[in-house]
Amino acid sequence: MSWWLVAGMLCIPAASVPTTAPADSVTVARLQYGGGGDWYANPSSLPNLLAAIRVRTGVPAAHREATVRPLDPALRDHPYLYMTGHGEVRFSPAERAALRAYLLDGGFLHADDNYGMDASFREEIAQIFPEAELTEIPPEHPIFHVFYDFPEGLPKIHEHDGKPPQALGIFMRGRLVVFYSYESDLGDGWEDEDVHGDPPELREAALRMGVNLFLFALGQGVS
């Protein structure tokens, strides 16, 4: 995966990350899935996250996300695969196999429940990794400290059912391959300020967590 070269920058302190690399060399890939769910939700979220990554870390991130389907050969070009939505998530057997291969070969999936995809996502990920379960990721895990510190773990951005936020993950071969943000709604916090009217401190917490996720994904890709 060509993005491993970009990930090498993470071996030096964040303040020293060079800013002269060519623009648009790495981006977030939004996963387009079947089942009728709105995989395209929160259209301003990923451009805002990419801007935060560019400005705050110096990683040469693109201005727009890519869009990929599970069987798209370009899937393997991206270190950070993001999916969200409010409805059903469904993959074909071939799509499940492709996602599994991508994740086992160094990829990273961030599934961000936008209040509605929980049940179907859990069903699908259980079919992709039948030998593993979604488990709670503790606050001391490096993903909460790679760039910004989150001593209490995943931040709560939107209330929804009033449940506490949960960071759930699937670990395979010693790697975190799936990060599931549940009852948090990071993507809403990444959106333009006037979309949800979230206070600045919540939007900042969401962006900081997003930066951590992206840098963690790049770092895991280094072989």
- Which of 41, 5, 54 has the alpha carbon at shortest distance from 214? 54
Regarding the domain with residue range 3-12+42-220, which homologous superfamily does it belong to in the CATH classification? Answer: Domain of unknown function DUF4159 (3.40.50.12140)
66: exposed, middle or buried (Cβ count in 10 Å: 0-12, 13-18, 19+): middle
At 221 the pLDDT is 60
> What residues does each domain of the chain span?
3-12+42-220
**pLDDT band at residue 5 under the 50/70/90 scheme:** very low
At residue 193 the predicted structure's pLDDT band, cuts being 50, 70 and 90, is confident
Euclidean distance between the first and the last CA atom of the chain, given in angstroms as a whole number: 10
Whether the per-residue pLDDT at 201 is higher than 60: the answer is yes
pLDDT in tens, 48-102: 999 999 999 999 999 999 999 999 999 999 999 999 999 999 999 999 999 999 9
| 103 vs 24 pLDDT, higher one | 103
**One-letter amino acid for residue 8 of the chain:** G
Per-residue pLDDT tens digits for 28-53: 999 999 999 999 999 999 999 999 99
Between residues 158 and 155, the one the model is more confident about: 155
pLDDT surpasses 70 at 2: no
In angstroms, rounded to a whole number, what is the distance separating the alpha carbons of residues 65 and 75?
Answer: 12
CA angle, residues 158, 118, 34, in degrees to nearest 5:
115
At 196 the pLDDT is: 73
Smallest Cα–Cα separation from 115: which of 154, 159, 70? 159
Number of Cβ atoms within 10 Å of the Cβ of 114: 25
Please determine, for residue 121, whether its predicted confidence score (pLDDT) is greater than 50.
Answer: yes
